[in-house]
Amino acid sequence: ELPPSEFMQVADSTWLVLSVVSNGRAPSGSQATGVTKIARSVIAPLAEHHVSVLMLSTYQTDFILVRERDLPVVIHTLAGEFDIYKEESGECVPVTCDDASNGFLKDKPATSPTLHPVQSPQTRFCILTVAPDTLPAIATMLIDVLFYSHSPPREAGASSQDLDSITFFAFSLIEGYISIVMDAETQKRFPSDLLLTSSTGELWRMVRIGGQPLGFDECGIVAQIAEPLAAADISAYYISTFNFDHALVPEEGIAEVIQLLQQRQDSGR
């Protein structure tokens, strides 16, 4: 039971998971990966049709969560660009616009999305995976990091100048595939031979979106980040949470990312 001073807020919606699988139709010239790879084809169109999304990037792929009630709009929006399938009893079954026509929502009047403030802590992050059979070997360390090693949270109104570091640790286990995001200092606490990363072993910097809890109703937050980065062909690893959205970009590109996002902020005023 939660103490009287605390409460749990639950979104009154059922969310469905979309994953984009390349089938050779995507342009071959683009080098961007992560959320920016689908910025123009998925993220921007859904934002234009007022569909709120939650993004979850993993080491292996990206997942987009949409409300079940928005599924007709999602299908109508994306059917021209993608072949859409749904999973039934373990089989992938094609979905057409006609299948979702009942209850299709008409476009809402165009409105300008809110441009949320962006902060960039100095913390350097690693994006890792681990073989499932070696998970028991790091289980004790995972529990310690997840539940006992957090520093007190900073106030939500802290300015970017005060945001020297940030406590952030993400662990996901999806269909047997493990994905971990941790800061470079925390990584040193784990056995180096069990944590796997890309061959380049690159480090990532974060841009954090939002000055107050974002909730689940607003649309266009992911697009605010993904579109300018896609235009600059910059990869991004993206994780939505209730309070903030987080985009991780290669460390060497952080200065360009901040400049691009600042220009978007200035043009939106």
Strand pairing partners for 63? 19, 56
List, for residues 215-258, the tens digit of each pLDDT value: 677 788 899 889 999 999 999 999 998 888 999 999 999 999 99
Q: How confident is the model at residue 26, as a pLDDT?
A: 41
pLDDT tens-digit series, residues 114-143: 778 888 999 999 999 999 999 999 999 999
* Predicted pLDDT of residue 24: 43
More confident residue, 175 or 109: 175
Beta strands in the chain (DSSP E): 15-19, 53-57, 62-67, 84-88, 91-95, 118-119, 124-128, 170-174, 177-183, 204-209, 237-240, 245-250
Is a pLDDT exceeding 60 seen at residue 5? no
What are the pLDDT digits (tens) for 67-121? 999 999 999 999 988 999 998 888 999 987 765 544 444 455 455 667 788 889 9
Interval 41-72: pLDDT, tens = 999 999 999 999 999 999 999 999 999 999 99
| Domains recognised in the chain with CATH numbers | 1-150+158-268 (3.30.2130.10)
The type of residue at 39 is: A
Average pLDDT over every residue of 19-28: 60
Sequence-separated contacts (24+) of 173-176 with Cβ below 8 Å = 174/58, 174/60, 174/63, 176/132
- Mean local confidence (pLDDT), 19-33: 60
